[in-house]
Amino acid sequence: MVATIGVLALQGGYSAHARVLHRLGAVVVEVRVPADLQGLDGLIIPGGESTTMTIGVEREGLAQPLRALAQAGLPMFGSCAGMIMLDRQHLGVMDIAVQRNAFGRQINSFEADLELGPDGELDGLAEGTLRAVFIRAPWIAEHGPGVEVLASVDGHPVAARQGHVLAVAFHSELVDDDRLHRLFLGWARSYARAGGASAGGNGGLARSSASQP
């Protein structure tokens, strides 16, 4: 099954995500207005500048449609600024509070090898560590009980999952390892097979311990 994935394209590194998705055989839709959300099996919110993204989302009337799709179970994946956009103070899709630029400025950018999951594995990511690129990266300062922390750096959560929503503080689209995008495409295909938003569910993606955003 070919998944149709939207990439929020108001600002930031959306083209890098699109290139990875194209390479993996997905249909990619650049999302700029609510009409672009029709028929999606998943949505990625890329890195960039969260304040500028917020202004664009509000200007184009995307906030409420995005929240409605999350509630209907559309898989979502936010990276770096995308993590911020998913938090309580922005779209409210995940029960997290995010600290911006938590690791410092551009000069403090770094790379690290992460093991995702509470036991070092997450679905298809069990095969070794994941290289992560942190650029003016945030971290999760607080989260609710329905949020599963998947990876931390120096004790600070940098990757988390809540049901069908994945948020990471780093740029997975800037490395050769495409396992996160493959994992997300698997979620999108499950969502599509379950009938998508018309089914009013999350395609069976949420774990029993995860509350819905």
Domain ranges of the chain: 4-199
The reported pLDDT for the residue numbered 26 is 97
Across the range 183-201, mean pLDDT stands at: 81
Judge whether residue 191 has pLDDT over 90: yes
The reported pLDDT for the residue numbered 127 is 63
Asked whether 94 and 67 are in contact (CB, 8 A), the reply is no
* Average pLDDT value over all residues in the chain: 87
- 193-202, Cβ contacts within 8 angstroms, sequence gap of 24 or more: 193/1, 194/73, 196/41, 196/74, 197/69, 197/72, 197/73, 197/74, 199/73, 200/72, 200/73, 201/72, 201/73, 202/73, 202/75, 202/163, 202/164
Across the range 79-94, mean pLDDT stands at: 96
- Confidence band (pLDDT; 50, 70, 90) for 101? confident
Judge whether residue 4 has pLDDT over 70: yes
**Cα separation, 162 vs 168, whole angstroms:** 12
The reported pLDDT for the residue numbered 197 is 60
3-state SS, residue 158: strand
88 contact partners, CB below 8 Å, separation of at least 6:
94, 95, 96, 97
**Cα separation, 177 vs 181, whole angstroms:** 9
Kindly state the helix (H) or strand (E) to which residue 20 belongs, with its residue range.
Answer: helix 14-23
The reported pLDDT for the residue numbered 158 is 95
The reported pLDDT for the residue numbered 209 is 30
Residue ranges of the alpha helices (H) in 109-201? 179-193
- The top-level CATH class assigned to 4-199 is alpha beta
Known catalytic residues are 80, 171, 173
